[in-house]
Amino acid sequence: MLYAVSAPNSCISYPRSASCPHFLRKRSVPARLSIRASLPDNSNGAKMEYTPWLIVGLGNPGNKYHGTRHNVMQYFQKVGFEMIDSISRAEGISMNTIQSKTLIGIGSIGEVPILLAKPQAYVNYSGEAVGPLAAYYQVPLRHILLVYDEMSLPSGVLRLQPKGGHGHHNGMRSVMEHLDGCRQFPRLCIGIGNPPGTMDLKAFLLQKFSSVERKQIDAALEQGVEAVRSLVLRGFSENINRFNLGQKYKYHKV
């Protein structure tokens, strides 16, 4: 059962990690809300508690360039934010709170607590939201899932990885900077494709999606929800490996 605990005078400590000692060094910050999930007492009288997940779609607020690729690449409302919205609908989680410049929703997948987040600052400053939220809710690096666009993947193709670099994505670069350079956190990449031939990048990004591409993105959102469920409940298991392999070849004709 998921529940919230009011603790006005308590302190939150960062978990420790040998690979990223500075970000995860023990610090104290004021706390008024924490999220936890637990199962009923077992036969030995002990409770099993789950570590929460922080799932973030990178992007910018506003409706500028709505419906264009630029909206995906820089404003990210047709992919990153839509993935968060898809998860919130599927799991019945209301996005109704503002914290650390972020629209958030607290809920669960199964018995595992999750925090959905859509930063309301510009994408280049996404780390200013992710860092404080991870600290406030005591979320370790391995449970911070970032959702973002990837031009090197065909439109609608997904890739789920346990860690990686920023790939010249300014939003990811900002997140890593605010996690003291750590890169050991999961990421879900959503393909938006590359410009055909010698087409100008800006012109490509300002194009609207074709009807076929829109269907591919919609299908990717549905598949992404299932992938996130699998990750939260079972971690990076063989199911995730099969998912990535299937995504790699899903639009290849044999």
On whether the CB atoms of residues 189 and 140 are closer than 8 A, the answer is no
- Provide the 8-state DSSP code for 2: E
Catalytic residue selected from 70, 143, 169, 178: 70
Side by side, which strands form the sheet with 30-38?
A: 2-11, 30-38, 49-50
User: Buried (b) or exposed (e) across 198-224, using 16+ Cβ within 10 A?
Assistant: eeeeeebbeeebeeebeebbeebbebb
Going by C-alpha positions, the residue among 24, 226, 247, 64 that lies closest to residue 150 is: 247
Q: How confident is the model at residue 90, as a pLDDT?
A: 97
Write out the chain's pLDDT in tens, 254 residues. Answer: 443 433 333 233 334 444 554 444 433 333 334 455 555 555 565 566 789 999 999 876 766 545 555 444 443 346 888 899 999 999 999 999 999 889 999 999 999 999 999 998 878 888 888 899 999 999 999 999 999 888 888 889 999 999 887 766 777 888 888 787 788 899 999 998 877 777 776 776 667 778 888 899 899 999 999 999 999 999 998 889 999 999 988 876 54
70 assigned to active site: yes
pTM for this one? Answer: 0.78
Q: What are the phi and psi torsion angles at 25 (to 5°)?
A: -65, 145
